[in-house]
Structure 1
Amino acid sequence: MDIEFGVPGQIMPPADKAIQFAQRAEEDGFDAVWWPCHLMNWFPDSIWTEDISPLTKYQKVHTHFDPLLMMSAVGSQLERTKVGVVVTDLLRRNPAMAANALLTLDHVTQGKAILGLGSGERLNVEPYGINFDKPVGKFEEHLHVMRMLMDTDDPVTWKGEHITVEDAVLHLPPYGDRQPPIWVAAHGPRMLGITGRYGDGWLPTKMPPEQYGTSRETIIAAGEEAGRDMSHFQPGMLGYILVGPDEEAVERMTHEALVRFLCVLLPSQVYRDLGFTPPLEGKGSGFHDFIPSRVDRAEAERIVEAIDPSVVRYYAFCGTPESIVDQLKPYHANGLRHMILWNITAFGDPELARWSFDGLRQIKAMLQEA
């Protein structure tokens, strides 16, 4: 099966272990290592406690390396495996600085860097003194400016609603004969169009396979309408993986608080479509409306109880390795070509954490042999 596989990079100290982990992933045949771009984690401090999970003994909840720095440190030590961020935004990172950083990474990693971009998440933006109004509009303008700076040696002038640049220049060339790739996290129609007009790849989270195929077609059509060559476009996905040795273990893990809490990211409409009251009733989604550091214990527990375990199976790929392979095959049939296997098993059962990485290797091997 013609599909690539990515895994998460290590997000916390010690940094040398992150390099060793990535080198092991390369030895195991994985095609990319990806880092999230978070200042604040999705879990509130109020439930990051030992009575919820023993994982909480080993790290503070909001502990994250800067992804671009880790891409540089790790990517320079790998032979072929790519390094990426899934995803950062152009609110915290000025588009000129983001372009300069990507091109620098392109050289340091010798062409192995992928910049994943999205419109941003309120929890990483607003608490840190950055305005979060009109995130999609800002994203499109900022990405347009970023592309302009990367695609010409001439001074760039642009006056938009959200950003103005005047006589801006950026002469750093790419490492090879193509600009380093930018992949876009997109779900809604507007973001899918932006992905087609500006992106080299696509990084959504899980959705039904038929919707994945239709959305991919929307992206390709938008790119072709803009006059772009879409033959090299890479349809990917960030897929949460809850893997166990048997279905009983998997079902038990879907009930665990930290696993259920990840589903707070889903749009409220998804809960309604599944027949449930959204845990953030009256708000759009966790991406745009949720700030964990402001959530006390009682509210965190209410949110967990409001998320039915069946929603976990909608949002994550849950099952034995064989079952997850069967779940992924329809996505490949609908165009998926780069799957990031984002292992969340430790949130469900820390004792299965080590086994789960063997499970990921089994999933990769079975799909590549299919």
Structure 2
Amino acid sequence: MAGRITVGLPGHFTPPADRVARTAQRAEAEGYDATWYPCHLMAWHPDSLWTPDLTPIAKVQPNPHAQFDPFQAMAVAGAATTSIKVGVGVTDTLRRHPAMLALSALTAQHFAGGRVILGLGSGERLNVSPYGLEWNRPTARLAEALEVVRLLWRADGPVDFDGDFFRLRDAVLGLDPLDGQEPPIWLAAHGPRMLELVGRQGDGWLPTKSSPEQYADRLAAIRRSAADAGRDPDAITPSMLGYVLCAPDEETLERMCEHPLVRMLCVLLPEGVYRDHGVTPPFTGGSGFHSFIPTTVDRAAALRVVEAIPSRMVRYAAFCGDAAQIADQVRAYADAGLRDIVLWNVTGLADPALTGYSYKVLREVREMLTA
């Protein structure tokens, strides 16, 4: 297995705002390497399931979509800390013009003393279509946007750019990268075109959880692409974002895997993953990643989706168990080349009473992985 694995976790990204800085400071004090902030106008959970009978969180947070803008949260967290990195995991170039993306990333970088990671993906339909934005060639758009972002970061004066999606004329970005160091760009990639893009243009790879075998195959594709582009494959950081369910025993874990809000997290899984597990996908002709709009789903329809997702899909999508079990599961990916992990704790969705226990488990996992 490779050496030390760096470990990140989600920052605080919902009201109240004063917890953003405090949570980042606590993560830094506990030795975590990074804190990450999602970029969602709309969360994965339908409002019809966000009810007190399914989660007590609904009593204090009226809807699942109440999330801060990640770049502002990153600036706050970065300004309140001294060593921990802050990242957006991830945003897209369907909603954000690359010029504004370049400025937002540099602004957060200046507030954070340089400790910013810009995480980008091709986008999810739920954050795009409901807002009147066009879902059109997202991967090609992302590739071109990366050129624009770096062009503006490196420009010394006005620049022009002629692309299929973006056109710049005498455009400037007066704010320079802090100390001349551009924020690293990590890409959320799973399919062949996105993996190739990571190799050509990415500084890091931030997929969601797959199998260790799939992870190794995809990382090999990234490294081939990097070598073909004349880049050092080892300069690209192989990471992964994985949900985590912390449970003291198997009976508790199975109960947690059956929880509707936890099973609903699996709507983003590709159709092929369901079929590989002998499960009929809950959506016809694709994954929820490209077709699921939570605000259009009433409770009956949402529960039908939940029933179509067996608990074994949760075990595929999440790291599960006690500290030793979770650490062993992560090490299987380290053997496949992983060097960084983002542990996205969803234990509280399944059993709020285990929230405190889950933080203790994560600290133990971090200690095991970073020894």
TM-score relative to the length of structure 2: 0.96
The whole-number CA distance in structure 1 between the counterparts of 2:109 and 2:5 is 23
Residue range with higher mean Cα deviation, 242-251 or 64-73: 242-251
Q: 2:92 corresponds to which residue?
A: 89
Q: Return the offset for 1:327.
A: 0.8
Give the alignment partner of residue 126 of structure 1, picking from 124, 129, 137. Answer: 129
The correspondence of residues 43-58 of structure 1 with structure 2, limited to 5 A, is 43-58=45-60
Give the alignment partner of residue 106 of structure 1, picking from 105, 109, 112. Answer: 109
Q: 2:300 corresponds to which residue?
A: 298
Q: Return the offset for 1:346.
A: 0.7
Indicate conservation of the 8 Å contact 2:20/2:76, yes or no: no
1:117-171 CA-partner distances (Å, limit 9, x unpaired): 0011111111112111221121111122212222332543232222222232324
Give the alignment partner of residue 359 of structure 2, picking from 357, 361, 365. Answer: 357
Q: Which residue type is aligned with residue 298 of structure 1?
A: A
Match of 2:304, SS state, is helix
The whole-number CA distance in structure 2 between the counterparts of 1:45 and 1:173 is 41
The correspondence of residues 1-370 of structure 1 with structure 2, limited to 5 A, is 1-59=3-61, 60-153=63-156, 155-282=158-285, 284-369=286-371
Match of 1:84, SS state, is strand
Match of 2:181, SS state, is coil
Unaligned runs of 5+ in 2: none
The whole-number CA distance in structure 2 between the counterparts of 1:225 and 1:155 is 32
The whole-number CA distance in structure 1 between the counterparts of 2:43 and 2:175 is 34
Q: Return the offset for 1:53.
A: 2.1
1:301-324 CA-partner distances (Å, limit 9, x unpaired): 100000010110111111111111
Unaligned runs of 5+ in 1: none
Count of residue pairs brought into register by the alignment:
368
The whole-number CA distance in structure 2 between the counterparts of 1:119 and 1:156 is 25
Residue range with higher mean Cα deviation, 327-336 or 156-165: 156-165
1:27-53 CA-partner distances (Å, limit 9, x unpaired): 100011101101111000111112222
The whole-number CA distance in structure 1 between the counterparts of 2:88 and 2:107 is 15
1:339-370 CA-partner distances (Å, limit 9, x unpaired): 0110010111111011101110011111222x
Residue range with higher mean Cα deviation, 273-282 or 24-33: 273-282
Q: Superposition RMSD on alpha carbons, in Å?
A: 1.3
Match of 2:81, SS state, is coil
Q: Return the offset for 1:177.
A: 4.0
Runs (4+) off by over 4 Å: none
The whole-number CA distance in structure 2 between the counterparts of 1:313 and 1:10 is 25
The whole-number CA distance in structure 1 between the counterparts of 2:22 and 2:79 is 12
Match of 2:239, SS state, is strand
The whole-number CA distance in structure 1 between the counterparts of 2:354 and 2:54 is 16
The whole-number CA distance in structure 2 between the counterparts of 1:136 and 1:270 is 21
Q: Return the offset for 1:248.
A: 1.6
The whole-number CA distance in structure 1 between the counterparts of 2:40 and 2:317 is 20
Q: Which residue type is aligned with residue 287 of structure 2?
A: S
Match of 1:61, SS state, is coil
Indicate conservation of the 8 Å contact 1:247/1:320, yes or no: no
